[in-house]
Homo-oligomer: A and B are copies of this chain.
């Protein structure tokens, strides 16, 4: 048998999809699984996006420009300016999803063995992107008790070595829902400039802010212009996850030129998806306002319902559509598995994402789960009830096991 790569063998399995084998089996047994584990919107995409594809008159699909059509990049630059982000179409490179944008950023900045610093918990696939690029993730713990705000600057500073090439952040954060404020972002920009490293901020949840605070993009910091990179995607904003269209934005022209070489290699982003993404920008303002209001409502419903469960603690998310919950169990992965394999409530159960996969420090987050508030309010209430009953059932089984 020929040998596979070490990095492939060591590539971590996604914690979001890890338990899929058990949920599939539960479904085979006729049990309905409420998915709290995945950020898959159920809200309709803008009609403009769907219609653009429906009305397309293409007779064949040619390759497009590797950096994306100029018309789309122009419209995106206008969209960003509405968020006080001043970038030209040349600063924007269209990618096949934020996943590709992150891969391009890592590969353009890091060689094998280089390090990136990430506050944890973080989006689990960051581990994978780094691993695939043979880059080492250096985590800095952010604390549940402070709602996962930025770790103390000296803790980050302590991790910087000669191999450190970047700090990576998700703002608003998946999985914590924390929204880094202007002071935090500016502080990190100064740190990046001081050490001459990059600050990469994944802002795909930019629009989803709950409670009237303002999102501060990393590209708004003027002194960091040569050191900052923003990652974006249409997936969550317009319920276009399957489109696979994202972008990478930076004022560092040398970096953008370098990333373009990686973009040339894969030729171009997908045609129909680009048409939908460009047209989505023509949706009336009310489209996103309604979407944001709906997620805000779901957030309130979920947080209230979770807080009513005895001994469950919830991080109060200010953005995105996830929260971290501490459960009264020793091992949240074992409990999540139990919910899928050994439990149901009137033929229904819930699927959670165990939080350990969102940390890279071994043992961290072992009694935590990530919960997405992406189902509608009725389903979220029901899911919380099932979670409460599931916890009671698990406790009983454990009590018996301990005897």
For the complex, give the distance between the alpha carbons of A22 and B109 in Å: 29
Contact B132 A96, beta carbon cutoff 8 Å = no
With A243-B61, A271-B243 as contacts: A227 and B2 at CB distance below 8 Å: yes
Most chain B Cβ neighbours within 10 Å, of A2, A13, A66, A107: A2
Contact B134 A242, beta carbon cutoff 8 Å = no
Known contacts A112-B112, A125-B265; 19 additional CB pairs below 8 A are A2-B109, A2-B165, A2-B226, A5-B110, A5-B165, A7-B107, A8-B108, A8-B262, A42-B60, A44-B60, A53-B56, A61-B241, A61-B242, A97-B266, A107-B132, A129-B265, A132-B265, A272-B272, A272-B273
Contact of A244 among B6, B96, B197, B255 (CB under 8 A): B96
Most chain B Cβ neighbours within 10 Å, of A53, A60, A262: A60
Residue of B nearest to A42 (CB): B60
Per-residue contact bits, chain A 246-288, to B (CB 8 Å; 1 contact, 0 not) = 0000001011001101101111111111001000000000000
With A60-B239, A61-B243 as contacts: A134 and B112 at CB distance below 8 Å: yes
Q: Is A294 an interface residue (CB 8 A)?
A: no
How close is A384's CB to chain B, nearest CB, in angstroms? Answer: 24
Residue of B nearest to A16 (CB): B264
Contact B196 A3, beta carbon cutoff 8 Å = yes
Contacts of A1 in B (CB 8 A): 196, 226, 252, 254
With A198-B2, A255-B4, A265-B129 as contacts: A241 and B62 at CB distance below 8 Å: yes
Contact B61 A17, beta carbon cutoff 8 Å = no
Please give the number of chain A residues whose Cβ is less than 8 angstroms from any Cβ of chain B in the complex: 79
Contacts of A107 in B (CB 8 A): 5, 7-8, 132
Per-residue contact bits, chain A 44-62, to B (CB 8 Å; 1 contact, 0 not) = 1100001001101011111
Contact B6 A111, beta carbon cutoff 8 Å = yes
Q: Which of A16-50 contact B (CB under 8 A)?
A: 17, 40-45, 50
For the complex, give the distance between the alpha carbons of A63 and B244 in Å: 9
Q: Is A380 an interface residue (CB 8 A)?
A: no
With A108-B8, A244-B269, A270-B96 as contacts: A261 and B60 at CB distance below 8 Å: no
Number of copies: 2
Contact of A11 among B64, B262, B270 (CB under 8 A): B262
- Sample 6 A-B pairs with CB under 8 A, ordered by A number: A4-B258, A8-B109, A54-B56, A61-B276, A128-B261, A129-B265
Contacts of A111 in B (CB 8 A): 5-7, 134
Contacts of A103 in B (CB 8 A): 266
Per-residue contact bits, chain A 108-139, to B (CB 8 Å; 1 contact, 0 not) = 11111010000000000100110010100000
For the complex, give the distance between the alpha carbons of A56 and B44 in Å: 14
Contact B258 A13, beta carbon cutoff 8 Å = no
For the complex, give the distance between the alpha carbons of A2 and B9 in Å: 32
Contact A108 B62, beta carbon cutoff 8 Å = no
How close is A68's CB to chain B, nearest CB, in angstroms? Answer: 12
Contact B50 A53, beta carbon cutoff 8 Å = no
Contact A99 B265, beta carbon cutoff 8 Å = yes
With A1-B196, A132-B107 as contacts: A242 and B268 at CB distance below 8 Å: yes
Q: Is A240 an interface residue (CB 8 A)?
A: yes
For the complex, give the distance between the alpha carbons of A129 and B103 in Å: 13
Nearest 4 Cβ contacts at the A-B interface: A242-B271, A61-B242, A272-B272, A270-B270
